Amino acid sequence: DGGITQSPKYLFRKEGQNVTLSCEQNLNHDAMYWYRQDPGQGLRLIYYSQIVNDFQKGDIAEGYSVSREKKESFPLTVTSAQKNPTAFYLCASSIDRSGGAKDTQYFGPGTRLTVL
């Protein structure tokens, strides 16, 4: 059963704590992405990775970090430096074999993070 899994579905964190969100895909996709969604807004790009051991900042990378040690996995750490971390976080992946703009992104079910 191919797809993208994110865990946990709901996550609560105290202020000042780091927390790591999991994203795994078994689609054999090269590229993976993290987006943040706030109420009434579209998605904003946090980080993306086109290949293992390489990643680039998106539009709102401050206060976040990522790693890409395996093709299947792209975990996102929300650090204490992120001033307003409460949001819905979505992970996506795409084939991205230089497919350019035609490359379709497929999304996981999301993790809702709440800072208490």
The piece of 15-23, 61-69, 79-87, 90-98 that touches other proteins (CB under 8 A) is 90-98
57 C-beta neighbours (distance < 10 Å), count: 13
Q: Is 33 in the site for other proteins (CB under 8 A)?
A: yes
Q: Which two tokens stand for residue 47?
A: 């980080």
The piece of 20-28, 64-72, 79-87, 104-112 that touches other proteins (CB under 8 A) is 104-112
CA–CA distance from 3 to each of 59, 60, 72, 81, 108 (Å)? 26, 26, 11, 31, 8
Q: Which two tokens stand for residue 97?
A: 């074999």
Q: Is 48 in the site for other proteins (CB under 8 A)?
A: yes
Query: Cβ of residue 82: shortest distance to other proteins, in angstroms?
Result: 19
Query: Cβ of residue 24: shortest distance to other proteins, in angstroms?
Result: 14
**SS3 (DSSP) at 102:** helix
**SS3 (DSSP) at 51:** strand
Q: Is 90 in the site for other proteins (CB under 8 A)?
A: yes
Binding site for other proteins (CB under 8 A): 4, 6, 31, 33, 40-45, 48, 50, 58, 88, 90, 92, 96, 100-110, 112
